[in-house]
Structure 1
Amino acid sequence: MTSEQIARPDAPGPPGTTGRAGRVVAHARSVLRRGVVADVLVVGGFTGWALLLGLGADSMYALSEHLDSAQVLRMQLVSLVLTIAGATALCWRRRNPVVVAAVMGALAVASLLGTGGTNGFELGIAIALCSVAATRRARDVWVTAAAVVLPVVVVAWFSPLVQVVGTRVVGGDPDDPAALRSGLLPGLLADVVTPAWAVTALPVLVLALLGIAWGTLLRARWLRLAAVAEAERARAAEQAQQALLTRADERARVAREMHDVVAHSITVMVALGGGAAAALDRAPEQSRTALDELVATGRTALEDVRRILGVLHADDDATPWEPQPDAADLPRVVERFRTAGLPVRTRGLALTGLDQVDATVQLAVVRIVQESLTNVLRHATGTAQVDVDVRRLPDAVEVVVTDAGPGAGANTRDPGTRRGLVNLQQRAAAFGGNVEAGPHGTGWRVRALLPQPNEGEA
Structure 2
Amino acid sequence: MTSTTPEPVPPGVPAPASPLTELDARNLGPVRRWFAVHPVGTDRVVVGLYLAATALALAVTDVPAARWWVAAASFVVAALLLRRRAHPVGVTVAVSVIGAIGILTLGDTAAFDLAAAFGVYTVASNRPAHDAWSTAGVAIVMVAGAALIASPSATYDDGLRIPADVPLGTITADRVVTAVFVVVVILIALSIGSTVHSRRLHIADLLDRANGFAREAEQSAQIAAAAERGRIAREMHDVVAHSLTVMVALADGAKALGPKDPELARQALDELTETGRTALTDMRSVLGVLRAPESGTENELATGAPDLDDVVATFRTAGLPVRLVREGGAANLPVPTRRAVERIVTEALTNVLRHAPLSPDVRVSLGGVWNPDGPGRSVEIVVLNTHGPGQSKSTSGAQQGIIGMRERATALGGTIEAGPYGSGWRVRALLPLKEEM
TM-score, normalization by structure 1: 0.77
The Cα shift of 1:339 comes to 0.9
Residue 402, structure 1, aligned to residue 384, structure 2: yes
Counterpart amino acid of 1:453?
K
Alignment partner for residue 391 of structure 2, among 411, 415, 420? 411
Quote the Cα distance in structure 2 between the aligned partners of 1:96 and 1:344.
83
* SS of residue paired to 1:354: coil
- Partner residue, 1:148: 139
The Cα shift of 1:175 comes to 6.6
Residue identity over aligned pairs, in percent, reads 38
Q: Deviations over 1:233-281 (max 9, x none)?
A: 3333333333332222222212211222222112211221221122111
Alignment partner for residue 404 of structure 2, among 423, 427, 440? 423
Report if the CA contact (8 A) 1:55-1:79 is conserved: no
The Cα shift of 1:44 comes to 4.4
Alignment partner for residue 193 of structure 2, among 205, 215, 220? 215
Alignment partner for residue 365 of structure 1, among 341, 348, 354? 341
Residue 55, structure 1, aligned to residue 55, structure 2: no
Label 1:232 to 1:175 Cα distance change in 2 as closer, same or farther (>3 A): closer
The Cα shift of 1:293 comes to 0.7
Counterpart amino acid of 2:196?
L
Label 1:221 to 1:318 Cα distance change in 2 as closer, same or farther (>3 A): farther
Alignment partner for residue 343 of structure 1, among 321, 324, 342? 321
Report if the CA contact (8 A) 1:132-1:141 is conserved: yes
Counterpart amino acid of 1:33?
V
Report if the CA contact (8 A) 1:325-1:366 is conserved: no
Label 1:296 to 1:445 Cα distance change in 2 as closer, same or farther (>3 A): same
Unaligned stretches of 5+ in structure 1? Answer: 15-24, 59-71, 181-190
Quote the Cα distance in structure 1 between the aligned partners of 2:330 and 2:154.
103
* SS of residue paired to 2:388: coil
- Partner residue, 1:103: 94
How do 1:223-372 residues align onto structure 2 when only pairs under 5 Å count?
A: 223-316=201-294, 318-322=296-300, 324=302, 329-348=307-326, 354-357=331-334, 359-372=335-348
Counterpart amino acid of 1:366?
E
Counterpart amino acid of 2:347?
E
* SS of residue paired to 1:93: coil
Unaligned stretches of 5+ in structure 2? Answer: 1-20, 371-376
Quote the Cα distance in structure 2 between the aligned partners of 1:386 and 1:326.
26
The Cα shift of 1:427 comes to 1.0
Residue 432, structure 1, aligned to residue 413, structure 2: yes
- Partner residue, 1:33: 37
Report if the CA contact (8 A) 2:393-2:424 is conserved: no
- Partner residue, 2:368: 392
Report if the CA contact (8 A) 2:286-2:301 is conserved: no
Q: In proportion to residue count, which structure has more strand?
A: 2
Counterpart amino acid of 1:55?
A
Counterpart amino acid of 2:265?
S
Q: In proportion to residue count, which structure has more helix?
A: 1
Quote the Cα distance in structure 1 between the aligned partners of 2:163 and 2:108.
16
Q: Deviations over 1:30-64 (max 9, x none)?
A: 56632577556544443444433442144xxxxxx
Label 1:193 to 1:391 Cα distance change in 2 as closer, same or farther (>3 A): farther
Quote the Cα distance in structure 2 between the aligned partners of 1:29 and 1:176.
48
Question: C-alpha root-mean-square deviation of aligned residues, in Å?
Answer: 3.5
* SS of residue paired to 1:398: strand
Counterpart amino acid of 1:199?
V
Quote the Cα distance in structure 1 between the aligned partners of 2:73 and 2:166.
31
Quote the Cα distance in structure 1 between the aligned partners of 2:91 and 2:114.
13
Counterpart amino acid of 1:420?
G
Q: Deviations over 1:135-194 (max 9, x none)?
A: 2223333333333332334434554xx3xx1355997984799xx9xxxxxxxxxx9864
Label 1:150 to 1:199 Cα distance change in 2 as closer, same or farther (>3 A): same
Counterpart amino acid of 2:122?
S
Report if the CA contact (8 A) 1:125-1:204 is conserved: no
- Partner residue, 2:5: none
Report if the CA contact (8 A) 1:326-1:366 is conserved: no
Quote the Cα distance in structure 2 between the aligned partners of 1:218 and 1:438.
68
Counterpart amino acid of 2:302?
Q
Q: Deviations over 1:14-37 (max 9, x none)?
A: 9xxxxxxxxxx9x99656632577
Report if the CA contact (8 A) 1:396-1:449 is conserved: yes
Counterpart amino acid of 2:223?
L
Report if the CA contact (8 A) 2:153-2:172 is conserved: no
Label 1:251 to 1:175 Cα distance change in 2 as closer, same or farther (>3 A): closer
Label 1:77 to 1:423 Cα distance change in 2 as closer, same or farther (>3 A): same
The Cα shift of 1:130 comes to 0.2
Quote the Cα distance in structure 2 between the aligned partners of 1:29 and 1:154.
38
Label 1:352 to 1:432 Cα distance change in 2 as closer, same or farther (>3 A): closer
The Cα shift of 1:222 comes to 2.0
Label 1:46 to 1:323 Cα distance change in 2 as closer, same or farther (>3 A): closer
Residue 445, structure 1, aligned to residue 426, structure 2: yes
* SS of residue paired to 2:332: helix
- Partner residue, 2:16: none
**Rg bigger for which structure?**
1
Q: Deviations over 1:359-384 (max 9, x none)?
A: 21111011011111112222222222
Report if the CA contact (8 A) 1:344-1:387 is conserved: yes
Worse-superposed segment, 216-225 or 195-204 = 195-204
Residue 136, structure 1, aligned to residue 127, structure 2: yes
Counterpart amino acid of 2:268?
A
- Partner residue, 1:65: none
Aligned length: 405
Counterpart amino acid of 2:310?
R
* SS of residue paired to 2:302: coil
How do 1:75-90 residues align onto structure 2 when only pairs under 5 Å count?
A: 75-90=66-81
Structure 1 runs, 4 residues or longer, greater than 6 Å off: 169-173
Quote the Cα distance in structure 1 between the aligned partners of 2:351 and 2:149.
102
The Cα shift of 1:401 comes to 1.3
The Cα shift of 1:291 comes to 1.1
Quote the Cα distance in structure 2 between the aligned partners of 1:147 and 1:273.
96
